[in-house]
Structure formats: C-alpha cells, structure tokens
Amino acid sequence: MTSIVTTPAGPGTADDGRRLSVLVGLEGLALGGCPINALDLGRTLRARGHRVEVFAIDEQVKTSLLPYAERSGFTPTVLPQHAGTLERARQIRRLALESSADVVHVFGPWLGRAATMAVAGATPRSAVVTNWMMENVPYVPRRTPLVLGTRSLRDEAERMQGRHVWLMEPPVDLDADAADPEAGRRFRREVGIGDDELAVVVVGRVDAHLKEEGLGHAIDAVERLDLPALRLVVVGDGDAFERVAGRAAAANERLGRPAVVLTGSRQDPRPAYDAADVALGMGGSALRALAHARPLVVLGQNGYAATFDVGTREHFATEGFFGEEPVADPAGHLAHQLERLLDPVHRAELAAFGHAEVQRYGLQAGADQLEALYRTELRQLPGLPRRLTDAGALVLRAAAHDLRHARTW
C-alpha cells in the first residue's frame, strides 16, 4: 500500500490562523470506519500546519489500526484497556499536558466524561466528543461540545437533551478512495471472480453489532436469486466472522458452487471496492463505495436495504447511510434491490450519480469544519470558576460511578 503521509501545506483556513494543538482519542485498536476517519482528519489537519497527536485504548483485536496509523504519520500512545473514569481522565490529562493540547477530541462517546475532566484546570482547553454511532447516548456531559453524524440525530439531541450539537458527517478521502480499475481486476483474480461474473462486495467489520444481521440477509438474498454469475464477496473480520462463515458455507453447499466468498480483513480494502459491480454497506463504507464510483445498496437493521439513487438521496442526507425500518421479508427485499442492478446501464447511471453526490463529504471540507468547531469552542469557553465547578461535579459523579462498578481487573 502506498504511504499516505502528507506534508504541511500552509496555514489553516479558520479565522485567527493560529496553529492548534489537538489530541485525538480513539476508543480502541480495531481497524474500522470511525478510527480511519479520525486518523484521516488528523493527518489533514496536520498537513495544514496544526500539531496532532493520537492515543488509543488498548484491546485485543484481529486487525489492528496501528499499521494504518503509522502510514498516516502517527504513532498512537496506547493506554491500558481497563481503567475507571477518574484514572482514564488522569491518563488523558497527562497526554494533554505533554502535547500542550488546545483540544482533546475523542472519537467515542464513552470517553467523553474522562476527556471533559482531563481538560479542567487553569489552562483553557476544550474537550470535543464525536459520536458517529446511529443513536444518541445520555452520558456525554451536557456542556461538552458534541459532534453527531446525521441531521436527525442532531435535531433529536438538541430537542431532548437541550444542548448545542455540531453536525459533521463522516468524511471520505476522495483522493485515496478514487477508482483504480487495475487494482480491481487484480483483486477479482485473487479471490477467483471471473470477468463475466457480477461481484456484490461488502467491506466492513464482521461484528455481531449492526453488521451480522445485514450480512446474513445478503447471503440469503444471493441464495434466493440463485444466479450462477452472481457472487457475494465479504471483506472484513470481527467477532461474528465464524458464524457468518458457517452461514456462507451452508449456502454454498446448497447452491453447489462458491457463491459467497469471505476474504477476511485487508489492511488496504480499496481494491475490493474497485472489484465491485455492486457495493453493499453502511456508514463510512457506503461513502467509500460511492467515492470509488460503485452503485450502492445501503444496509441497515431489521432487514432494511435501499439503493442510493435520486429517490433515497434526501433520506440518507438526513438519517445517514443507514436505516431501521422493519421489512417483512429481508432476503426477498434485498434480492429485489440486487435484481434491479443486473442491468449494466442502470449500474453505470447509479455509479455516476453516487460519485457526484459524495463530493460534499470530502476530507478537506471535514477539516474546515473541525477548524471552525475548535476555534469557536475555544473562544466560547466559560471562565475558570465555571470550568472548575463543572469539572468538580463530574469528578464526584465519576467517583460514585467507579465505586458502583468497582471490580478487580
């Protein structure tokens, strides 16, 4: 994989032009959409002259994000997996002091309390929390700036939690995630997909949470269609991999051919997008498929599946690339979506439409948003007495929480 380390390209674009120091926090070590987006944004900010350091919470994973971080120019500080809120706050505060951070930006809402306590003190610093999950959570401190990824979640948080929320859709690297037909051909040859076969490709974590259900419906849909030229390729790994692999093997045995292929995880999954005739996915993976100019069917929960086109564009702009509306026959519903995409002319039209639409999700626009967010929140920080009062209240609540959940690690 080609290195994606960038070099400084001049000052930031926000109002005062001062270089910022940002400490980015990742909630784990698993390679996935959210940490990739965080690292991509970090290197883009660094390319604009800002100082960016990264930490991540340790965990045992099948595919680590550390190689991707290194290619992005970062050597994350890895914090111990098990720590109470107060200890985690002390760890983050130490890193913030070492890096003279103006902003501690954690990508994972469960780190929000610790990050907020970590920035309390005489030096004005801001904590920022990004929640790119598909639901709001109640445990991010109300005065802490919160970033959400969809309009509907933002509106819900403002209405129910009475707080100001920043809207920032997960970005996509439009330069790195550009179509490379030759890479796609190599990938197809590697996994045994013929030129005359139709490859339906899913790239993402093979996890029980959010992912396994949709992958099961995709396997069932391919079996339901029973088209010899149709192949489903699943690129990824996770805690549900063995169950999904077993389901795929059973479908292949019934069909009498390798209709479903599981490749495991790839450090560079971009060739898989290029190999796709049709992409299935949600969230950041869906956006990367569009950047590669692939026609897209968005998967969700409860059997939800919808092709990205003129009719669904506004839904996805509001709700994010996801859905939860129940479907009575999930396999039949998805099979119908795929059947409509057998026509190569229709696929080409959808690919061009999606590629045009994804341009607004680019990394540079995302970095512009972050610069504006950071500078605005730093200007609006309350005075020291208020900051210390708020932090004290959080410390008391965190101490009570840690006592209730005390355990021996």
Q: What crossing angle do the helices spanning 384-404 and 85-98 adopt, rounded to 10°?
A: 140
Whole-prediction pTM value? 0.82
Residue 210's pLDDT is: 87
For 31, counting Cβ atoms within 10 Å of its Cβ (0-12 exposed, 13-18 middle, 19+ buried), the class is: buried
Q: Which residues are paired to 94 by β-bridges?
A: none
Nearest one of 233, 203, 198, 235 to 219, comparing CA atoms: 233
97: which 2 tokens? 């002091």
Secondary structure (3-state) at 23: strand
Residue 366's pLDDT is: 94
Q: Which residues are paired to 146 by β-bridges?
A: 129, 165
Residue 7's pLDDT is: 31
- Whole-number Å distance between alpha carbons of 120 and 114: 10
- Whole-number Å distance between alpha carbons of 38 and 265: 20
Output the furthest CA–CA distance in the chain (Å, rounded): 71
pLDDT means over runs of 10, the chain (409 residues): 34 61 96 92 97 97 92 97 93 97 97 93 91 90 92 92 88 94 97 97 93 97 97 95 98 98 93 98 94 97 97 93 94 97 97 96 94 95 74 68 54
CA 296 to chain centre: 17
Task: For the beta carbon of residue 105, count every other beta carbon within 10 angstroms.
Answer: 26
Residue 75's pLDDT is: 97
Residue 302's pLDDT is: 95
